[in-house]
Amino acid sequence: MTQSPSFATKAVLDQLSTRRRQRLRKNVQLMFLGMSAEETDPIIRLLRASRLAPRGHLVSTEQEFLDALSERSWDVILFTTNQSAFSGKNAMHHLRRLDKDIPLIQLVPNSDSHYLLQGLKNNIQAVVPLEEKELLMLAIRRELEHLESRRKLRQTESSLSDAEKQYESLLESSTHAIACCDGDTILFANQSIATLLGFESPETLLGTSLSLCFSQSHKEELQEQLQMMQQENLRNASLQLTAVRADETEFDTNLALRPARYNNSACIQITLSAERKEEEQVLQDKLDLVSGLYNLDYFNNELDETLQRAMEGGADCNLLYISLDNYLEIRSDIGIEGCDQVVRDISTLLKKHVNKAHLLARPEEDSFAVIYHDPNPDKATTLASKLCKAISGNISESSSTTIQTTCSIGVTTISDNTPTRKVILERARGAADSIRADNQRGNGVKLYESVESNTDESADQVFMLEDAIQQKNMKLLFQPIVALNSQDITDHHYETFLRLIGEKGEEISPNNFLDTLDQADISIKVDRWVIKETMLNMQREFRRKQRNRVFINLSSRTLRDRKTLLWLSELLRKAGLPANYLVFQISENDASSYLKHAKFFADTLRKLHCQICIKHFGSSINSELVLKQVNPDYVKLDGSYIQELNEAGADSKDVLKLLHTLKVQKKVTIAPLVEGTRVMGTLWKAGVDFVQGNYLQPPKDAMDYDFFDS
């Protein structure tokens, strides 16, 4: 029975719960220049513990480097100051010659400024002392983020070029009367606007003044508007003017102006409409009929313009997203009419409390929004608190029934660093939703803050794990490992996973940080708890005639602890379980870093009749040596290979090469992270023995997967 975690534990659990929801980055391809396994393995292990999926490749000569560049796209190149046949300076030369964008990081013996100065002179992106692991991690993450930004920028520029070509094609064929102007000069006109203005060909309009197409009384107004569009970065404008045809006849028109691009240059796009709209009709098109506030389309356009102005600098502001807490209940109990009355009353309240300088809208049925044109988030949250209080105090009446509701308000800042409209709305909605997640009734205000990892949390994590063991706030989950080509179908295979139990009963994986706690004996305690609990579960299954072979993960700290082997020997003797049904999983990176310890541990496990599995196989530069020294019974491929197969058009040569090596040595192979039938088909053809992944079944409390073998 679990108990509530302590206050300190809860803080760490909250951090992990947030981190758990963050997606893993795509595979990180690392190239090491002339480095040893002792230097590369800790780096790969560090990256894996930081929720990256690294795969290392060692090159020692110029030809190996050039071959590697032609094989795939690389994310980071790391090298040391050791003088080898091929140096970082040589690599930089080839990267420039081949126009390759790959960041270089140099690892130096100490933090001497001489190394830093020399590295910067050589245009190396980062120079990091070898012993500064945390600094190295930050440097690699920074370079990966910068590289990804540059790649996205190149993709965006390519997409923009394609979009501009398509835009120009659509302009020419559009039935709307459109022209593009540089100031008052017409750069482009389509056939529709030429016809509307009484010209046979649009070429007749090119190079002429736009104001010549309008009556003398409106020319000054038009020129002022065009000037304002250029000088004040206005996003949209609309004018009611009188146009003049080629035969000097006149007609009323609606002129819409917006910034655009034509022929790779900024311009103003104008659209003429012969139907002149009354001001009242123009306003009605922008409003939500029930609330009288601006509708979704107008809100989206205004938010886009707000983001654009903020991006240009000096126009920071805030978005308030007001979500009604019990709107669905009101609609269920009283109906649409009651909901509409609540919306009307709240709209009146909002108009009363929000100055007209700020934009009020109803973007969704159960929500309102305020674009608050003030850069101070404190002012925005103060206003949000006032609105929250006013709405909770409002009482509406419908069909002699009184209705009261509350709201949750998410606030997010808009600045030159703000991404797209979709993201900003997700942030504001997420902040509002989190209020209800923390408090089911809602009725609160929350300012969105970006999540940043805490780099100084190891002590808290150790304490939290100690507390979890004492309070028994841990549990095991089991995921099936299913035969694909293997003939071993008499026994069922599972992998055991540890989960911490949060304050609200949520399950949190400790793998996010456990690998970083090698200096703490707590990882040994955790491993022993998992082993003991797993064996208790196996005993229950054996009594039910279920012979399950279970894979148990070991940390690098346990791998180096010989006392654990004595403890395990005694535990096996008391448990009375067949030891060959226990398979201990060791990470290839750990085995490579502590090869003597791994070999001794594996040899001793074999003497106890247990089995061994190497996981993350193929991720280090020492895969073949680890395979030879540890001699495992099972080999689990690194998940990055399977992720590559999951990507459309991914090349499977690396996987096939690995599998061929393992088949020659008659190793039983396992593919993790299998998420679809297409990948399973590829793995089956490649001869993989077992597959594992959430597609088959996610980790569960019980070993109850239907293996279809009865």
Q: What pLDDT digit, counting tens, does each position of 267-309 carry?
A: 999 999 876 555 555 556 788 889 999 999 999 989 998 998 8
pTM: 0.64
Q: Are 26 and 147 in contact (CB under 8 A)?
A: no
Phi then psi dihedrals of residue 444, to 5 deg: -160, 180
| Confidence at 17, pLDDT banded by 50, 70, 90 | very low
**Residue 518 to residue 559: CA distance in whole angstroms:** 11
- Structural domains in the chain, CATH included, are 19-153 (3.40.50.2300), 174-283 (3.30.450.20), 286-447 (3.30.70.270), 479-691 (3.20.20.450)
- Residue 441 has φ and ψ, to the nearest 5°, of -80, -15
Radius of gyration of the chain (CA): 33
Burial class (CB in 10 A: 0-12, 13-18, 19+), 337: exposed
Please state the length of the chain: 710
Check: CB of residue 670 under 8 Å from CB of residue 655: no
The Cα 415–Cα 315 span in angstroms is 7
**Confidence (pLDDT) at 285:** 74
Measure the CA–CA gap between 172 and 194, rounded to whole angstroms.
11
Segment 102-116 mean pLDDT:
87
Whether the per-residue pLDDT at 417 is higher than 90: the answer is no
CA distances from 637 to 28, 55, 593, 688 (A): 16, 12, 18, 10
**CB–CB of 26/54 below 8 Å?**
no
- 628-659 pLDDT, tens digit per residue, is 999 999 999 998 888 888 775 455 677 888 88
pLDDT of residue 7: 44
pLDDT of residue 440 exceeding 70, the answer is: no
Residues 6+ apart with CB under 8 A from 188: 168, 171, 179, 180, 202, 206, 262, 263, 267
In this prediction, residue 72 has a pLDDT band, given cuts at 50, 70 and 90, of confident
User: pLDDT value at position 489?
Assistant: 66
Taking only the tens place, the pLDDT of each residue in 538-591 is 999 999 888 899 999 999 899 999 999 999 999 999 998 999 999 999 999 999
